[in-house]
Amino acid sequence: MSPNNNRRQHWINENTKFGAHGHGIEGVPIFRVAVSKRRGDFTMNVAIVLAAGQGQRMRSKTPKVLHKITGLSMVGHVIRNVRAAGIDQTYLVIGHQGELVKQEVPDVIHVEQAEQLGTGHAVNQCRVALAEFEGIILVTYGDTPLFTADTFQQVLEYQREQMVAATVITAIMADPTGYGRIIRSESGRVTRIVEQKDANPSQLEIQEINTGTYCFDSQLLFTYLDKITPDNAQAEYYLPDVLPLLLGDGHEIAGYCISEAQESIGVNDRVQLAEAEQIMRKRICRNHMLAGVTIIDPQSTYIELDCQIGQDTVIHPNTHIQQGSVIGADCTVGPNARLTHTQLGNGVNIEQSVVLDSTVGDNCQIGPFAYLRPGSKVGADCKIGDFVELKNTTVDTCSKIPHHCYIGDAQVGSGVNIGCGTITCNYDGEQKHKTVIGNNSFIGSNSSLVAPLRIEDGAYIAAGSTITKDVPKENLAFGRARQVNKEGWQKRRANSDS
């Protein structure tokens, strides 16, 4: 038996064993999947997302499909858009470091491809689970994150309308080098896909290419997967080899040409990852601008998925707005700002500052060079100025911390003014302690507030004080050594040195 036949027999044996166990999906019995099948109901859609490959060209310990674009893994983008397209069930074929992929995308049906024997072999791992399914199967890849939900939805509708065996998603490439060329009949049907190495000069001039993503009639797909062979240099089972077999038996194949060829870009290395990131960022910025946000320089603005920005907010260059951030209307953000899981009210001005897992009320001024660490809550009409660091601190309305302060594990009331150089001494070497500063208090410059400590409403702390005891309401507190002036000291020092 030839090596290719050995591999084919191994594949058949694996699939026989796969079915005999009654579990095509780890931990999910076949009958659980079959419950949702509707024989003959071609309104049902299933997606198979291939994510088993190692991705050696990424040169990374992380599985290729888990590398992130605009804050979400590539496979996460694919699953997100498949669902938004109205797919009923999604099967994720995993292999290399599959457990990590499962952790990233837990809420799909995972199918293991224990040995990577090609894309056709990968799809065939879903055979038993989908044995009774009659409908449309979309097959796409975990490393093609730029396909939109609209494209998936439209190609599903096109497959349904055309009633063909398969639909190939195609694109027009200005430079189609390296891609399989689409050959169409006069009626527009796909009659052949010619690979670059097999194309003649006239075929090489064709700019319509095969993106590698398909829709199939489910029953025909698995029938013809049994007929493909690994007669190629890699001795693998390739999914596109199904197409000529379908055509040879008189089945029709349609081609759905997408309007934006960029959607079909696959990511195989870090260069392509950066290119995909740039395309996705451009989309996100465009959507925000069309919704009424001014972005001064979209090319230097980094906005991740699922961020909300209100109308008439202005985003300056080199600003990073990360997932989970909500920005109100009429704000000014940047330049050189970073927001992560942050909520800003309306009319907030943030310049050259970092805000992490915090909330900021209306009409606040943050920065420049402020650092709001997780758990900080700033009320309306406050100022958190230059080189101020907050950590797990609540600041009530109309309070000011203008510059050069560290306020951690504190509760600051309304109308408070905290002078330059003030710190809360919140850590005793073993535990963190809280500082409470009452409404309308004044903390003089260069004060050290040693927690646990309570400064009640209207209290006044003299500059340069170290405060270790609670300060009652409207009291003045100072805790510093008495000043002593030594008359003639400098002259005596000079004489002693001579």
Token reading at 259 = 């309007």
User: What is the DSSP secondary structure assignment for residue 254, as one 8-state letter?
Assistant: E
**Element of type H or E holding 152:** helix 149-162
Which amino acid makes up residue 448?
S
Same domain, residue pair 196 and 139: yes
357 touches 392 (CB < 8 A): no
The answer as to whether 366 is a domain residue is: yes
pLDDT surpassing 80 at residue 24: no
Q: Given this model, what pLDDT does residue 5 score? A: 42
CATH number reported for the structural domain that contains residue 396 in this entry: 2.160.10.10
The answer as to whether 212 is a domain residue is: yes
Segment 294-315 mean pLDDT: 97
CATH number reported for the structural domain that contains residue 18 in this entry: 3.90.550.10
Same domain, residue pair 124 and 227: yes
Same domain, residue pair 13 and 139: yes
Q: Given this model, what pLDDT does residue 481 score? A: 85
CA separation for the pair 182, 185 (Å, rounded): 10
Segment 269-297 mean pLDDT: 97
399 touches 416 (CB < 8 A): yes
Same domain, residue pair 244 and 121: yes
Same domain, residue pair 323 and 454: yes
pLDDT surpassing 90 at residue 495: no
Give the confidence band of 483 by pLDDT, cuts at 50, 70, 90. Answer: confident
Q: Render pLDDT for 76-105 as a digit per residue (tens, 0 to 9).
A: 999 999 999 999 899 999 998 999 999 999
Same domain, residue pair 227 and 363: no
Catalogue the active-site residues. 403
Q: How many of the other CB atoms lie within 10 Å of CB of 330?
A: 16
Share of the chain above pLDDT 90, in %: 82
Same domain, residue pair 252 and 310: no
Handedness of CA 50, 52, 58, 60 (dihedral sign): positive
CA separation for the pair 498, 488 (Å, rounded): 16
166 touches 88 (CB < 8 A): no
CA separation for the pair 50, 140 (Å, rounded): 6
The answer as to whether 206 is a domain residue is: yes
Give the confidence band of 1 by pLDDT, cuts at 50, 70, 90. Answer: very low
Same domain, residue pair 37 and 107: yes
The answer as to whether 281 is a domain residue is: no
Q: Render pLDDT for 429-479 as a digit per residue (tens, 0 to 9).
A: 999 999 999 999 999 999 999 999 999 999 999 999 999 999 999 999 999
What's the Rg (C-alpha) of the chain?
32
The answer as to whether 444 is a domain residue is: yes
The answer as to whether 273 is a domain residue is: no
466 touches 450 (CB < 8 A): yes
Same domain, residue pair 225 and 301: no
Token reading at 496 = 């002693």
Q: Name the nearest CA neighbour of 23 among 152, 138, 129.
A: 129
CA separation for the pair 476, 441 (Å, rounded): 10
Q: Please count the structural domains in the chain.
A: 2
pTM higher than the cut 0.75:
yes
What's the domain range around 389? 292-477
Mean pLDDT of the chain: 90
The answer as to whether 270 is a domain residue is: no
The answer as to whether 489 is a domain residue is: no
Give the confidence band of 498 by pLDDT, cuts at 50, 70, 90. Answer: low
pLDDT surpassing 80 at residue 25: no
Same domain, residue pair 341 and 215: no
Same domain, residue pair 255 and 302: no
Q: Render pLDDT for 32-55 as a digit per residue (tens, 0 to 9).
A: 233 333 334 456 799 999 999 888
Q: Given this model, what pLDDT does residue 43 score? A: 64
Same domain, residue pair 230 and 318: no
pLDDT surpassing 50 at residue 17: no
**Element of type H or E holding 129:** none
390 touches 384 (CB < 8 A): yes
